[in-house]
A and B are shown apart, each in its own frame.
Chain A
């Protein structure tokens, strides 16, 4: 592990991000995600959480500032280095973003085939391992995404995100649209997978239950930058009105009580 030069999975420094006709969304934003932690990004609606994720994923180029994932910037020259870094990262989109023309099996196999270097037999084995890790059976592999329920889409998408055994998993609203029971099981699933594979997680969520059960640190996005970043206890003490409302409102207190009871 010590051979790795970058101490952080994600490092953002002095990020300036603009949307539309020059409306500044982020100004001088900095954030670090360690290689072994679960970091949750919270913020009010319209604070630019999804846009920040897009910048981190390299789908959008910031106006200024640097974004490094495992020490590599998306603008670095060297196609190979950037591509290899991309392959160390798994992304779970809010609505799954499964390839609708491919079956579940082919969806999970896609990143493996794309990377190359594996026989079809080995790919088969890996895909079925990943499917069983997310509690799907081999027979589900034949289905098309259109025939899946919302929860199954999320699990297949998670299996695809995990196919290359990533060192960093990015989750956009992982439990949005799932019923409480499924959300709970999804959270347990991520916990278990993390215990097995030890990857870093960057997660955006509004679901306080998910947050309390999974996260090591929280970053609060607001006023165009990270207002606060730290463990839950540290962030709780902040007097900022959004933080107080978010964690100390009725829902926040209830979730906190449940989280403590569970722990």
Chain B
């Protein structure tokens, strides 16, 4: 037998203290209510306008009742005078009415001190971050010292793997970006310089810019996005799968085994990557100078050492090492803070990349101010 859709029958009996007889029948379920939804809702609304004492309900012909049907009925039946139905119907209706009585979520009231509290909380969180980072840095230094006394324990495999991952595999994308930035920078400078006939100055501008600033910067921002996020995610997942706990329980120092190789590897790999980025950017610059300004590659290569002092190159390389350390350190810091849940992992990776890039830019600004008279 096909299921009957839900329906209502309302009958008025004259000269009775309870004049309205309501009979519900059919499938009072989510699906059963679909067919005559509008009609039933209208009827129920109308019934609610009557004082409940005047209503008598008969649910004996209801074939099936689920939470949706019960919810509709319970709202209309509140305080009804008479009720007929199976004990099971009564039980479902009672349960649903209880749910109806639970007050909705309390709206948060406006609190004038809210901004102060939020600011304070953010400041406290930042302080905790700084404190934890200091502890991690201290542990790294102690571990590095301990490893120097026991060179046999140096995690060489992790170290070389980290160099390969952060260095070699990063080369193609970093060099491509460097090459393109070299082209754009040279093209834009050439347009301006041509006007003043200062064509050869392009070597100075692009040379110093690339070697001292752009090379290290590009390499470390890409490293923050590639290696930084990978490190945070890896440590975070190791927290989720309890691998970090397993290491600790075995008496293996997590900083020595996981953090130190990554930090040192990136500090070693990033100067090499940024050197290659420099080369690619200068190649791009050379190409554009040839076609827009007519400077031959020979002239470009000859002018470069005269225009760019070697100290600029060393500043760039030194900065890259510092940036590499910062990126890996920040990534490890955030990775070890991940709590064993997915939400925290996602937030950790995002924060790690943002914080790493911010750190790199802050460091760069500090170095720029300190070394403003050099080179």
B249 touches A89 (CB 8 A): yes
One of B152, B237, B242, B251 near A93 (C-beta < 8 A): B242
- State whether the Cβ of B1 lies closer than 8 Å to any Cβ in chain A: no
- Report B306-345 CB contacts with A as 1/0, cut-off 8 Å: 0000000000000000000000000000000000000000
Contact with B along A53-90 (1 / 0, CB 8 A): 01001110000000000000000000000110011010
Q: Are A100 and B241 in contact (CB under 8 A)?
A: yes
Contacting residues, chain B, for A83 (C-beta < 8 A) = 251
CA distance A86 to B241 in the complex (A): 20
Contact among A54, A58, A91, A116 with B152 in the assembled complex (CB-CB below 8 Å): A116
Q: Tell me the smallest distance from the CB of B147 to a CB of chain A, in Å.
A: 13
* Contact between A97 and B245, CB atoms less than 8 A apart: yes
Q: Give min CB distance, B142 to chain A, whole Å.
A: 10
Judge whether B3 is part of the interface by a CB distance below 8 angstroms.
Answer: no
- The residues of A that contact B153 with a CB separation of less than 8 Å are 116
- Please determine whether A93 and B248 come into contact, CB atoms closer than 8 angstroms: no
A99 close to B251 (CB less than 8 A): no
Q: Flag if B249 contacts A86 (CB, 8 Å).
A: yes
Residues of B135-152 at the interface with A, using a CB-CB cut-off of 8 Å, are 152
A59 to B248, CA, bound (A): 7
The distance in angstroms between the C-alpha atoms of A32 and B41, with both chains bound, is 66
A95 to B153, CA, bound (A): 29
With A97-B241, A116-B152 known to touch, is A91 a contact of B252 (CB < 8 Å)? Answer: no
B: number of interface residues (CB 8 Å) = 13
C-alpha spacing A98/B243, complex, angstroms: 6
A91 surroundings in chain B (CB, below 8 A)? 246, 249
Say yes or no: A100-B243 contact (C-beta < 8 A), given A82-B251, A114-B250, A114-B252: yes
Chain A residues with a Cβ closer than 8 Å to the other chain, count? 20
Chain B residues with Cβ below 8 Å from A246 are none
**A contact residues around B243 at 8 Å (CB):** 97-100
Q: Which residues of A contact B251 (CB under 8 A)?
A: 82-83, 86-87, 114
B250 x A110 contact (CB < 8 A) = yes
Using an 8 Å CB-CB cutoff, how does the interface string of A28-61 with B read, 1 for contact, 0 for none? 0000000000000000000000000010011100
Output the nearest chain B residue to A163 by Cβ-Cβ distance.
Answer: B250
A99 CA to B2 CA, complexed, in Å: 57
Task: Give complex CA distance A211, B343 in Å.
Answer: 36
The digit string for A114-140, where 1 denotes a CB below 8 A from any CB of B, is 101000000000000000000000000
Which residue of B has the minimal Cβ distance to A102? B243
Closest residue of chain A to B150 (Cβ to Cβ) is A116
CA distance A83 to B146 in the complex (A): 15
Set of chain A residues within 8 Å of B248, measured between Cβ atoms: 57-59
Residues from chain B with a CB closer than 8 A to the CB of A87 are 250-251
Quick check: A59 and B245 within 8 Å, CB to CB? yes
User: Nearest CB to that of B234 among chain A residues?
Assistant: A101
Closest B residue to A83 by CB, please name it. Answer: B251
- A151 interfacial contact with B, CB 8 Å: no
Distance in angstroms from B8 CB to nearest chain A CB is 45
Highest count of chain B CB atoms <10 Å: which of A83, A89, A97: A97
A158 CA / B222 CA spacing, docked (Å): 41
Distance between Cα atoms of A89 and B248 in the complex (Å) = 12
* Contact across chains for B250 and A86 when beta carbons are under 8 A apart: yes
Q: Considering the complex, give the chain A residue whose CB is closest to the CB of B245.
A: A59
A contact residues around B250 at 8 Å (CB): 86-87, 110-111, 114
Q: A56 to chain B: closest CB distance in Å?
A: 10
Find chain B residues with CB under 8 A from A114 CB.
250-252
CB within 8 Å of A: which B232-264 residues: 237, 241-243, 245-246, 248-252
Most buried by A among B243, B245, B246, B252: B246
Measured between beta carbons, the chain B residues less than 8 angstroms from A110 are 250
Which of B237, B243, B245 has most chain A Cβ within 10 Å?
Answer: B243
Residues of B close to A89: CB separation below 8 A? 249
Asked whether B246 lies within 8 Å of A93 as measured between CB atoms, the reply is yes
Interchain CA distance A114-B246 in the complex, whole Å: 13
Give Cα A214–Cα B153 distance, bound, in whole angstroms.
39
A203-218 CB mask vs B (1 if < 8 Å, else 0) is: 0000000000000000
Q: Can you give 16 A-B contacts (C-beta < 8 A)?
A: A54-B245, A57-B248, A57-B249, A58-B249, A86-B249, A86-B250, A87-B251, A91-B246, A91-B249, A93-B242, A93-B245, A95-B242, A97-B241, A99-B246, A114-B250, A114-B252
Residues of A within 8 A of B (CB): 54, 57-59, 82-83, 86-87, 89, 91, 93, 95, 97-100, 110-111, 114, 116
Given pairs A54-B245, A87-B250, 4 additional interface contacts (CB within 8 A)? A58-B249, A86-B250, A98-B246, A111-B250
